[in-house]
Amino acid sequence: MLSQTKTAWLGTFILAASAVCYSTAGFFTRLAEADSWTMLFWRGIVAGIFLSIMVGWRERGHVLRSVRAIGRDGLLIAIFSALATVCFLSGMRLSTIADVMVIDATIPFLTAGLAWLILGEREDRITFAATIAAVAGVAVMAGPAIAGGRLPGDLLAFAMALFMSTVLVFIRRNPGISMLPAVALSAFLCALLVAPWAHPLAVSGADAVRLALFGTTQFGMGLLLLSLGTPLVSATRGALIGTLQTPLGTLWVWLVFGEQPAAATLAGGIIVLAAVVGDIVMPRGRRIVSHAD
């Protein structure tokens, strides 16, 4: 058995790796030629297959038992995770990207509130301060672009944040149960939800390869690592680490496509990185008070 400190460090590392995977979304979106709905459809299908293989490999003959073990919370995780993905895309289409980025950054606050109500988790002051700093960093990144956001898109973005916060709390509520089958199901549900608008047979051979990589390395690995790392840290800290994907996503596009970010984007990204790293390295005593401890 790992000590509580080592468990927290392991969870932090896994969730940071998940954020890195998720941050490549912009990179793959630029590479792929398919429309957004078709891209989401194939990403969900490929990720679902990838995660199903992981479930089979991990459970080794006990797949049905692992699926039954996720229970009601697992089904809700699958549904809410899929809805969060669709709400995120729809919010980006109906509002400004900047608005959605800022609303997305509020996930740690929503997670903290839900974790307190559902789990009795009370986060320490350092993580709360780091969360406030991370939200401020995202606001700085998005600040110059925030203008004329549309209410329907913003409401969808808020629904995405609420769904994702609930997913994190429900995974955290079941630390002894693998939610890998639940996230595999969520990937397939994503594909099902966007299927009416997708054109899956219209993709070229080269684009099929790109979408396969998109589904495995970005979405599939991101969900896999999220399901493994979230039970090991507090729900709020897990959400805070997830904010890393915003500045990292900008970094990959800059390095690969030469799209130099604005000064505000760089400054905000540095603030987010400093907030997350500060939360990780700052010494403290017991991190949370929870009925699960």
Q: For the chain, give every domain's residue range.
A: 7-281
- Name the β-bridge partners of 289: 122
Asked if residue 144 has pLDDT above 80, the reply is no
- What is the model's pLDDT at position 78? 96
Asked if residue 291 has pLDDT above 50, the reply is no
- What is the model's pLDDT at position 287? 46
Backbone angles phi, psi at 79, to 5 degrees: -65, -50
Q: Locate 120 and state its tokens.
A: 């009795």
More confident residue, 226 or 92: 226
CA distance 89 to 4: 37
> Would you call 176 helix, strand, or coil by DSSP?
coil
Tokens 């496509």 locate to 257
Give burial (CB, 10 Å; 0-12/13-18/19+) of 130. buried
HSE toward the beta carbon, residue 254, CA cutoff 13 A:
14
Asked if residue 271 has pLDDT above 80, the reply is yes
Chain centroid offset of residue 41 CA: 18
CA angle 29, 33, 35 (to 5 degrees): 80
- What is the model's pLDDT at position 284? 57
Q: pTM, whole model, 2 decimals?
A: 0.85
HSE toward the beta carbon, residue 242, CA cutoff 13 A:
27
- Indicate the pLDDT class of residue 97, thresholds 50, 70 and 90: low
CA distance 216 to 46: 6
- Name the β-bridge partners of 122: 289
Task: Note whether 243 and 108 are within 8 A (CB).
Answer: yes
SS (H, E, C) 65-82: HHHHHCHHHHHHHHHHHH
Task: Note whether 170 and 84 are within 8 A (CB).
Answer: no
pLDDT digits (tens, 9 = 90+) for 190-215: 999 999 999 999 999 999 999 999 99
Listed in sequence order, the DSSP H helices in 150-244 are 151-173, 180-194, 205-213, 221-229, 235-242
- What is the model's pLDDT at position 150? 63
